[in-house]
Chains A and B, each alone.
Chain A
Amino acid sequence: MKFALGIDIGGTFTDLVLSGASQHALKVLTTPDDPSRAVVEGVRSLLLNAQIAATSVDRVVHATTLFTNALIERKGAVTGLITTAGFRDVLEIGRERRFELYDLNIRMPEPLVPRDLRLEVAERTTAGGAVETPVDESALHRAARTLLDAGVESIALVFLNSYANPENERRAAAELRRAFPGIALTASHEIVPEVREFERSSTAAANAYVKPLAANYLDGIRDKLRALGIEAQLSLMLSSGGFTHIAEAKAAPVHLLESGPAAGALAAAHLGKGHSRLLAFDMGGTTAKLCIVDDGIPLVAQGFEAGRTRRFMEGSGLPIRVPSVDLIEIGAGGGSIAHTDSIGLLKVGPQSSGSVPGPACYGLGGIEPTVTDANLALGVLNPDYFAGGTIAIHKAKAEQAIEALGRKIGLSMLDTAWGIVNVVNENMASAARVHIAERGRDQRAYTLLVTGGGGPVHGYQVAKKLGLKKMICPPSAGVASAFGLITAPARVDRVATIGLRLDQADLARLEERFRALEAGALASLAESGVKRADATIERAADGRFVGQGFYLSVKLPAGPYADRAELRAAFEQGYREKFTNTPPQVTIEFVNIRVTVSAAAQSASAAGSAGAPAPATHQAPGNRKVYFKESGDLVDTAVYRREHLPAGFCANGPLLVEEDGSTLVVAPGGHVTLEANGNLIVEVA
């Protein structure tokens, strides 16, 4: 029997999953000095405990936050840039725009390459793609030599207009690889052949910045897994939710930056299987994440920002133009601190108490009330069984902290506690509304899927604020992301900037361009062991009506295209889905064309779900007083243990369902049903 192995390295924990005829999971502490150590030790004990031979593992899928952390903490390689004469400051000048309007002391993110490591060479390609000046090769050699002598470990090569014709950039890259064997080099057209020099430079620089680290790490973990006897090919989770093989991951590690969150989103998609419109809502200790999942596939954006200087502020990070699961991060979690602002209103977060000192109830010196303290005071959380009984909790300390805040705003302890929860719920709901509106979706069509320690606690009220009728609470799968990994399809994305006006389109040439992208993507997928016959090819275009300042990515039918009207109709349909109306009589321009080649997860072992309910020993629910706004007071509330719920269980709120990682809250008026697959389905009143 064959098994798939999922490995998800996060900042604190490394999650391991073996899935085949049986399922096995293990959570171990991440070893930051050498993350592969925890993996190797964990996999060894997982195999041993499950009595599974290493040779029966036929697939290994891996996600890691290692590279994104290196970027955030600025612990990547010393990176240099070689660019077209006249353009060394592109990385530093950026978009010339502030991410915050009123801060006179604003600090824009520092470029990954400082000015003295950005060198220029004479060469030029026009926007039309004509090579006007060939690369000055001796200048190129000198530049590379200067950088290497200055201690540079990785070089990004970005020439102006290389999106239109990469010839000069390609030649220069070949020459550098020839003259400096083993050099870590990133040529921008190989990563992101898209118009806009700042975004392309930023992406290429980020790739160069993590490239040596990625090579070291990926080779290391492959060798160590082999040493364990696992011969299966290692696949890496991409930010887009697809995966790739090790050679491509080493060449373009920038595609792996968001692999952790992507695995989380895929896990949510998997847990909510059967629901066509899902809002995946994960709330942890410091942040909440939200992602739209349509028809089982998390929404993918064509770019994101890495290493924001202000964590939750759009524009404060480095633009990375690669496909990435489209999720927002909100500064709201169990540890978020409640306080009053300059006009005396109650604010919650984004500051967080972290794990030390933690919420006031930990008794570790935290005196400011947090969201967790408020939930404890309201009776929602169980002081005797906090985090499965692993942490000792002092409810009185939580109440004291909340009372002190309540005195400032003239509210009772309970009203203040409810206020804290209500404010943090509104913060999440408001962020969700704007996120959903930005993507042209109607929130009311969605079902909320709650995960993380806080998702089940806050989901009901957030759903209510958003006007959602239904919520899914899957069994607390502490290693859900690792399951997401082994259910992911193989996927390769390719893009090219073509700047084609439909009224002047040469359809044969367009078909050629699409075919070339598809051939590249298929070849790459073949290296992951996917057969051509199993691959699905999807085409898309980033288009706009001429004059518009943005692009919209729309799906296109397979080619070749009979006439321009076919393309126009496809674009207009995608446009209407998002914006309702199309303007009349305006020409369409395809700025970029995109190809996605994918294949369903290969191993039969991927079919497993995170866990169906074990046959329950029926137990009467417990009972405690819980505050609900709907009741206006503390009311007697049934408290169930999730593992004891009988098949076919259903009940009316108010009620709580406790499990080790979280507590599901259902307010008065709500209704809950246990489905055969282990999901709790909540009807929201």
Chain B
Amino acid sequence: MADQSANKGSGGIAKIAFFAVLAVVLVSGLIFAPEHAGLAIHPMDQFELTPLFGGEHVGTFTVTNQTLWMGLAIVGIILLLVVGTSGGKEVPTRSQSVAELAYGFVYKMVEDVAGKDAVKYFPGIMTLFMFIVFANFLGLIPMSFTPTSHIAVTAVLAMIVFVFVTVLGFVKNGAGFLGLFWVSSAPLPLRPILAVIELISYFVRPVSHSIRLAGNVMAGHAVIKVFAGFAAALGLFGFFPILAISAVYALEVLVAFIQAYVFTILTCVYLKDALHPSH
């Protein structure tokens, strides 16, 4: 018992000491850092599009670093899902097993969330999921570029889903698709108000859908860059920010998968609304 409390006490002291050192380091960093390259933290530089083959101007068809990393995502997907499954063995190899897992994961998601009749849209949803997952994970390689950190990219993804789902809803259900906004289980006087709310929330979907993904990815990368800037500025004490970078990086690995998952499952939810608009 005494040992334990002593341990706890020493742990507490260590903790206090740790934070004290951290504070000193941070303050000293802020005071003395300017002579170190003027604290050159530019966390947003990593998101800049630069033409790969010279030139400053980014035209519509210019091959940029983003193009390169999108292409690498394609290569990764082909390696995993095509080359990895080329054996087609009954007892899968490692890569085939991962490919089967990815297939089963998304397939089950579509089936469970959007229903059995949504299975024919599975290739499209699988395309979205694989692209986002690969873009996110390739983006975690240091010095790489993350296409999904760009709102232009995620907005296009979200708009594809939004337009497709809306058109599909009207094609499948005709005017009945508007029943999605008419909450028939609510009391009659409330329904027009709810309809307005539902309508707004429906049109906000692509916004939240795209900003959620781009925001998460961008924020994590920017935080890592900021800590990296601290590490450069602090010199000998740089290991504190490096520890923080490790922690944030671990979180980013999680976020890379979870955001792809969230994007895909929301797509399935929207698809379900289009196929079965009744509340």
A binds B: no
A residues with CB within 8 A of B = none
